Chains A and B, each alone.
Chain A
């Protein structure tokens, strides 16, 4: 290895960054959107009205299932977070798996009434794409994303080592200087949020550590189940007695749970063997109730409503893990901090995007024949366009599909997701067949138009358009539509910048030829 540490790190940073850059871009985009997944879900369920009311939601869900699913094997109720309105509940029939949960899922609004809403997975779908991707077996997807995260960690470290003048570079941002500008932008977005990038990458690996690094379990436990029982307290499932017993009021159990947690809100309710005398009710603390995301589970006798003994407190390592996952997901974050999270996520997205573009802009000047770049160069160039402009457009299509698909079309949530990839795929084709500069301008313009269309479509298809929302003081809906317009403006600005760019390459080469 000649050239010393800094050069070898620059080399490593370049190639590690390039190889996983496109996947990291998707992970950053979907992850950033996930900080507002509750708001996105609210926007995608325009039929849900009313206020946030956990008790009414839980009571409504229980009442509905007592009527329609009295013989089910288990009831599950996901209570709304502080920023959400709808309660999602579903039940499992005998012989079904949890993968079929959508078959018996329904929504309850803040008044406890079942809502006939369009079927959607809303922001949750984007959150799952962040680590499950789509169309792939989940395990493979998570390995791919884990590999990307590991590369990212290495890229961060090697990037810091590469920059001996990191602080002077940080205060330098030169616009309109071709490659220098891309480098400055890359450094700015990287350094500005460097602690965030480092934290988010490491804690991201920790969220799926059980899959990536199970060898400690292998070394210390006879099987995984024993470890999970130790780590997350898997107690015996209740056995059916065969005698029926009506369930004690759920509101009363929720009250006890809140008292036990000094006011922290519940997030999930599970009722195995509902209606049986041996039945229990499990209430889990909301993930957003504290920085430690893994809330405690309390168990109650279903028939009497009496609380069982609390599980023992977690040790330091497990509490650390819980806080790391909590820091990553940011569910505890109040609004101002949430916006900071969101902006840091955008900075990360920009860092990955500028880094990808930098790879080509750096090499364009060294091409033997700029008219006919070698295959690898052309590949990276096209992949960049397809990813950086294509994915945002896909997300705009996802939102539009939510409004434009027929109300009760079969497999509606899957079709919403399919439209994300159809939109993305169309721009991939444009990115491949058009001349490079035109491809940039056209794809970015289409993406801008897509985001501009979202609030327009919203206005035409629902009674909750931007002006109505502003008039009614409906901040979530108004903010969502305004964010769409802001993204449209940003992408449109990028398209306009590329359109007006001079051919830097030609000019330089002429100068060199003269010299």
Chain B
């Protein structure tokens, strides 16, 4: 990410703006989703009393959020962070959904 808005062709400036916007959404929304799914996963599957598992997930979730937010801006290509965040969130979300609504649980 350039340190300041590049002066140059309008195309380059637009690309830069889109890059920043994409990373910002990823950090704010993607980070929160990853944190929330982590909290839910801990709550559901940690083999300790339920109330303890919920609390553990809560305590850990903020670290997950911060890590995703940092990565969103640290990695050279935004698309790569999108990919890895999806790889983390999608299976976890699906497993949670099935475990809660799939009749099994």
Contacts and interface: CB of A to CB of B under 8 A. Distances in A.
B55 A318 contact: yes
A3 B75 CA distance: 11
B46 to A, nearest CB: 9
Contacts of A213: 35-36, 39, 57-58, 61-62
Given A153-B66, A315-B49, A315-B52, A209 B58 contact: yes
B58 A216 contact: yes
Given A11-B1, A219-B39, 20 more contacts: A1-B19, A1-B75, A1-B76, A2-B2, A3-B3, A7-B1, A11-B3, A161-B74, A206-B59, A209-B58, A210-B58, A216-B58, A218-B40, A219-B100, A220-B54, A230-B50, A231-B54, A315-B49, A318-B51, A318-B52
Contacts of B50: 220-221, 230
A219 to B, nearest CB: 4
B58 A153 contact: no
Interface in B53-79: 53-59, 61-63, 65-66, 69-70, 73-78
Contacts of B54: 216-217, 220-221, 227, 231
Contacts of A5: 74
Contacts of B36: 213, 215
B73 A9 contact: yes
Interface residues of B, number: 42
A206 B62 contact: yes
Interface string A5-25: 101111110000000000000
A347 to B, nearest CB: 21
22 contacts: A1-B76, A1-B77, A2-B1, A8-B1, A8-B73, A9-B73, A11-B1, A154-B70, A157-B66, A161-B74, A202-B63, A215-B43, A216-B44, A216-B54, A216-B58, A219-B39, A219-B44, A220-B44, A220-B54, A231-B55, A316-B52, A321-B58
Interface residues of A, number: 40
Contacts of A231: 51, 54-55
Query: Counting chain A CB atoms within 10 Å of each CB, which of B35, B50, B53, B73 scores highest?
Result: B73
Interface in A203-246: 205-206, 209-210, 212-213, 215-221, 227, 230-231
Contacts of B74: 5, 8-9, 161
A158 B66 CA distance: 10
Contacts of B44: 216, 219-220
B32 to A, nearest CB: 9
A514 interface: no
A433 interface: no
A12 B65 contact: no
Nearest to B19: A1
Nearest to A14: B3
B76 A321 contact: no
Contact of B70 (A158, A318, A320): A158
